[in-house]
Structure 1
Amino acid sequence: MAAKAGGREDVRGLALYGYPQCPYCRRVLGAIEALDLDVPLRNTMQESERRRELVEATGRGQVPVLRIESADGDVEWMPESEDIVRYLEERFGER
């Protein structure tokens, strides 16, 4: 589940780790949809490999977490739905 593609190439390094039934994940998914972004959802409830990736990277399985990979390959893991929504709005919102 991801929002429809908005033709933005600058979302390529993003992936949301979580699952649709999680209320905090739904908050982030709503922001992704409102911003018309195509950020893939890595479903940690249905895909055990995705959950393993999350735990290995962050030390815990709490969701949502936004994986942000920069053009140079550096990876940042951003937890907390409010922080993720704020980041997406600041980066992709109307200017």
Structure 2
Amino acid sequence: MPKCLARLSKSGLPIAVLGLGLSAGLAGCATSADVSYGEYSFGPGYEAGRVYENRVYGDTQQGFGSENCRTVLRREVDPYGRDSSVEETVCD
């Protein structure tokens, strides 16, 4: 075996192991970026809020994609003082 190949294989081994570990660690990698904004209103006996969310994601299994969601929350108080609330989330 030539000396240059022997030297390369000894110095390249830690780099190869590091590269293999890094690629195995990234095999299940996922990332996302979320942007959200909302509005809120209230008055005597009620509260209402809406939140709009836009999510962009990247996943090694699913690839790139995006999702838009809207959450609506309504909370009311009846004449007897009991709270009732409804929350609804819709995603595209």
**Higher share in helix:** 1
After TM superposition, the score normalised by the length of structure 2 is 0.24
The structure showing larger relative contact order (alpha-carbon pairs under 8 Å, at least 6 residues apart) is 1
After TM superposition, the score normalised by the length of structure 1 is 0.23
**Higher share in strand:** 2
